Amino acid sequence: MTRRGSGWNASPGGVLYPRRGRGDSARPLILAFILLATAAVAAFFVFRICSSDDCTDDYCPSGASIATPDGYARLSKILEWRGSADAAATADLSVSVPLDEQTDDGRNLSFFRYDATTQAWEPFAPAILDQGGRAVTARFNTAPEVVAVMRRLSAAGHVVAYLPQNASLHPDAAALVTIVHTRDFSVASDGGIIGTVADPRVIGLAEGSQSVHYPSVYVDAGNQQSKAIISGVLSSSQTRTAHVQQIVQRTVEGNLPGIDIWYDNLPVTERTQFALFISELGQALHAQKKVLTVTLPAPIRQPDRVDEGAYDWAEIGLAADVLQMAVYRDQNTYRRDMPTILEYLTRTVPPSKIVLSVTPYATEKAPDGSLQSMSLVSAMGIASKLSIHVGTDQRVTTNSNVDVVATNIDRTQGRSGVTWDPQVASVAFTYDLNGGRTVWIENVFSIGFKLELIPRFGLGGVAIEDASANQLLGNIWPALAPFVASGQPVLVQPNPDDLVPTWTVTDGVAEGGQKGVLTWSTPAKAGTYTITLGLSDGVARFENEIQVNVEEESRAGGTATPTTGAR
């Protein structure tokens, strides 16, 4: 007997099949299963190899699953470094990353790196949206192992903070702002850039801050010397190019993510030259993966047109990433003119590029129409000025009646007092100084009625003229915080009772005072007494006091006859 095969029901090739009955009909099915399994395994390995080989970039999609931090949306895949060690060591790495979905909104985009030690995402570099809206670019000075593109979810869009030199952010601002401008640079007579970049730690931007810092190059062409300098810089293609190169050099050498240009009060004769300069600067900065923001004064509404003056918003908007409209100060025309101005601008510039500015400063308008900004403390100091009406002998005696007057809010003399003006949506008062003057006070109430224009016109965000911790300014952040969170303003007016003057005296009897004039019945005892006026803008309370020396009543007696006097 010859044994064929080596096992039970063995085939000649040595593959075993169980006997299932006559004819071995299961064999084709099993062979097909084996072939499919083999093909699936092969396809798996081919897919893995192809997916790896297809990406030849320095950063390629990662299989890592890392949660996106609260308050952000991830717009790209999570990417891991696959470049060379030499490339990783470079201090100037150009990176372009495709977005998961096309967008035309370039606001609040950043590259984030993942720190495996802390297991947290950290903002690393601003991301610049390309023209097609399908990818973002940046320049890295190091090569993080894991990166992703994210957008900060601010319903308000950009929240831009301007800071004076050597100032730090208001405590309430640090968690809200997305862009910080420090007035660090000015223009030299040869077109060079002079100044030193503010230390991020000094201004309140801690390491890993969610805000980006774009220093401002500031020029006030209202100054004749500055006007001559900037006119020379913009006068020819050669001088403009040299100026552009100086700005780009300072930006790159300082490893700045971007720069802000604020050339204020330019004459209309510089309109074309300034637009050409911004166009060239935008191209040069974008080639270096840097951001360009431009601060422009608000156009003026004329009877027959909107006058942009020296600033061609449409041309500048083609080159700049963000256009910040500086504060429009005349509150008498703000609510009438600003909607017309914004309607005009949003027809020529993408609304998401336009940022509307608000301010914590009060504004005074003189009889000649000139405008002056001042701190809240200065404004309330004017409103709470005190004088005392005494007799011709300039004496205040015991047991007499004296009028103590809040000179600049004395309604008995036709002044307005501190009041809410519904026509301008602001707390205001009028007073006399070389003619009638009006002071408008910006606070949490008036700011809300300006913020409502941002969602109405679909603007790109809000800028704060001075976001510093200056205690002389009003705190407008309680109005800004809910707007940043929701994108909608809080529209409320102050309680009228809070705007009524209050008075206290250390002795004697006080009567009246609600209209700005207090009648004081002096004490029977001579001495020095203090009269205090309390005044509010509806938010903060301010006090001014006057000390009065009360003398013994003369034997002749009599009540002091009121005449005008001032302390």
Question: Cβ-count burial of 444 within 10 angstroms (0-12 exposed, 13-18 middle, 19+ buried)?
Answer: buried
Please state which architecture CATH assigns to domain 59-152.
Sandwich (2.60)
What's the rounded Cα separation, in Å, for the pair 13 and 381?
106
What's the rounded Cα separation, in Å, for the pair 381 and 535?
10
pLDDT in tens, 29-56: 444 444 444 444 443 333 333 344 578 8
How many CA atoms does the CB half-sphere of 562 hold within 13 Å? 12
Strands (E) in 56-134, as ranges, are: 59-61, 72-74, 79-81, 93-98, 109-115, 120-126, 128-129
Residue ranges for the chain with pLDDT beneath 70 = 1-53, 88, 90-91, 207-208, 555-567
Task: List Cβ neighbours of 17 (8 Å cut-off, separation of 6 or more).
Answer: 9, 11, 24, 26, 27, 30
Mark residue 414 as left, alpha or beta (left: phi above 0; alpha: psi -120 to 50; beta: remaining): left
Residue 538's pLDDT is 96
- Report, in angstroms and rounded to the nearest whole number, the Rg of the chain calculated over CA atoms: 35
Q: What CATH number belongs to 158-358+453-486?
A: 3.20.20.80
What's the rounded Cα separation, in Å, for the pair 426 and 329?
12
What's the rounded Cα separation, in Å, for the pair 10 and 22?
15
Q: What CATH number belongs to 385-417+496-551?
A: 2.60.40.10
Residue 17's pLDDT is 31
Q: Give φ, ψ of 29 to 5 degrees.
A: -65, -40
Task: List Cβ neighbours of 241 (8 Å cut-off, separation of 6 or more).
Answer: 280
Strands 401-406, 120-126: pairing kind: unpaired
| β-strand partners of 73 | 151
Identity of the amino acid at 148: A
Whether 59-152 shares its CATH topology with 385-417+496-551 is answered yes
Give the start-to-end residue ranges of the domains of the chain: 59-152, 158-358+453-486, 385-417+496-551
Helix 271-287 vs helix 224-234: angle between axes, to the nearest 10 degrees? 70
Question: Cβ-count burial of 61 within 10 angstroms (0-12 exposed, 13-18 middle, 19+ buried)?
Answer: middle
Contact 502, 542 (CB under 8 A): no
Contact 82, 58 (CB under 8 A): yes
Centroid of chain to Cα 445: 19
What's the rounded Cα separation, in Å, for the pair 8 and 260?
86
Place of tokens 């993942």: 114
Residue 431's pLDDT is 95
Residue 97's pLDDT is 92
DSSP 490-507: ------GGGGS-EEEESS
| β-strand partners of 258 | 291
3-state class percentages of the chain: helix first, strand second, coil last, to nearest 5: 25, 30, 40
Centroid of chain to Cα 257: 16
What's the rounded Cα separation, in Å, for the pair 34 and 32?
5
What's the rounded Cα separation, in Å, for the pair 409 and 419?
10
Centroid of chain to Cα 422: 27
The CA-atom distances, in angstroms, between 403 and each of 59, 541, 550 are: 79, 23, 14
pLDDT in tens, 296-316: 999 999 999 999 999 999 999
Nearest to 97 by CA among 125, 67, 136, 60: 136
Residue 91's pLDDT is 64
DSSP 215-268: -EEEEETTSHHHHHHHHHHHSSHHHHHHHHHHHHHHHHHTT-SEEEEEEET--G
